[in-house]
Amino acid sequence: MKEFIINKNDSGQRLDKFLRKVAPAMPAGMMYKFLRTKKIKVNKKRAHGSLMLAENDVVSCYINDEFFSSCNNTSANRFDLPHKEADVIYEDNNILIVYKPIGLVVHDDDHGSQDTLINRVLSHLCKTGAYCPEKENSFTPALCNRLDKNTSGLVIAAKTAASLREINRLIRENKVHKSYLCITVSPPPKKQDTIKAFHIKPENSKIVKVAAKKLPGYSEIITKYNVLSKKDGLSLVKVSLITGKTHQIRAHMAFVGAPLLGDNKYGKPDINRYFGCKYQQLCAYKLSFETEKDSPLAYLNGKRFTCKQPDFVKRFFPDFKL
């Protein structure tokens, strides 16, 4: 028999969601059977999977220990590995904003790399005492947005379950505003514009497709750009995402005839070789928040965060200053 006392980070979620986290080896059908037969109770009473857990609730599980995860101790050991330090731009009790360098993956990948952005973040939080895996039943701090391996820039991480839910809501409602800097190998059609198209990521494909009209399975994408400077046939462009889809900037800019320098998936490999660029010249350099007065993150309303000027700007546009 195992018993869980619901803490602040466990509260506010459905019972079945909580059980999937703490007992990952238990099949869903078996979990609902245990709920029906009262082998899983909340506060000593029968409970449905849809029950919303509150702080200090007691979840009692009269089932085999083999179903329960022992990942907390494993995770804690993993965070003790000699990762590089997270480059923290901003931190408070709810969130932190970190800079992701080129070449670092945000999560574990197919190569099994332990040095990931999320592991650097978790290692930082463990060292500072902001996160203690042994004291958590179901919550682990998480990244709220992601960047491609070879795109640099700002990433938001949530330190609590409540802030994770709130940041995810703000992102869904387009209230987290992200700006990017990139270099294109030819100028976009206009000095500034808001462009629209339709996007799909085929299953099992690492390349997305963009179309001018709505096709089955395609979703609308909206990208705003502003040309900041031109030199040697290259254009320095500021891009803001109105929608956020996989490879949106890379694919959408290529679709309008202005592929990114260094992008061999959607761009011009011959020009990339000429300039000696192996990776897309793209950085998520600025973000800001738009929050309501009653939001738990209301203090972030209107705040803007930026990272240092990207190296590719220094290299190709040395006279340009943000």
What's the structural domain count of the chain?
3
Do residues 58 and 141 both lie within one domain? no
321 assigned to some structural domain: no
The pLDDT mean for the chain works out to: 92
Task: Clarify whether residues 47 and 89 are in a common domain.
Answer: no
For 216-252, how does the pLDDT look when each residue is reduced to its tens digit (9 = 90+)?
Answer: 999 999 999 999 999 999 999 999 999 989 999 999 9
Could you report the per-residue pLDDT of 307-321, keeping only the tens digit for each? 999 999 999 999 998
Which helix (H) or strand (E) is 62 found in, with range? none
How many Å apart are CA 2 and CA 311, to the nearest integer? 53
Q: Give bridge partners of residue 234 from the DSSP assignment.
A: 231
- Kindly state whether residues 309 and 208 are assigned to the same domain: yes
Residue 76 has pLDDT above 80, yes or no: no
Looking at the structure, do residues 183 and 235 belong to the same domain, yes or no?
yes
- pLDDT of 114: 80
pLDDT band, residue 68 (cuts 50/70/90): confident
Q: What tens digit of pLDDT does each residue of 146-174 get?
A: 999 999 999 999 999 999 999 999 999 99
Q: 113-131: per-residue pLDDT in tens?
A: 788 999 999 999 999 999 9
List the domain range (segments joined by +) for residue 28: 2-67
- Say how many Å lie between the first and final Cα of the chain, rounded: 59
pLDDT bucket at 65, cuts 50 / 70 / 90: confident
Q: What pLDDT, on the 0 to 100 scale, is given for residue 77?
A: 54
Quote the pLDDT of residue 82.
56
Would 138 be classed as within a structural domain?
yes
Across 260-276, b (16+ Cβ under 10 Å) vs e yields bbbbebbbbeebbeebe
Cβ contact 240:224 at 8 Å? yes
Segment 261-265 shows an average pLDDT of 96
Backbone angles phi, psi at 287, to 5 degrees: -145, 155
- 133 & 153 share domain: yes
**Is pLDDT above 60 for 78?**
no
Q: What is the pTM of this model?
A: 0.86
pLDDT at 287: 95
Residue 247 lies in a domain: yes
Please check whether residues 181 and 166 belong to one and the same domain: no
- CATH number, domain containing residue 149: 3.30.2350.10
What is the pLDDT, as a whole number, of residue 112?
64
Residues paired with 303 in a beta bridge: none
CATH number, domain with residue 62: 3.10.290.10
Q: Are residues 140 and 259 in the same domain?
A: no
Measured distance CA(83)–CA(23) in Å, rounded: 29
Please say if the pLDDT value at position 109 is more than 70: no
Nearest to 260, CA basis, from 304, 192, 316: 316
CA distance 44 to 183: 61
Q: Which stretch of 79-93, 146-160, 168-182, 249-263 has the lowest confidence by average pLDDT? A: 79-93
Q: Burial, 100: exposed, middle or buried (Cβ in 10 Å; 0-12, 13-18, 19+)?
A: buried
Task: Give the pLDDT confidence score for residue 73 in this predicted structure.
Answer: 45
CA dist., res. 254 & res. 311, Å (int): 22
- pLDDT of 107 > 90? The answer is no
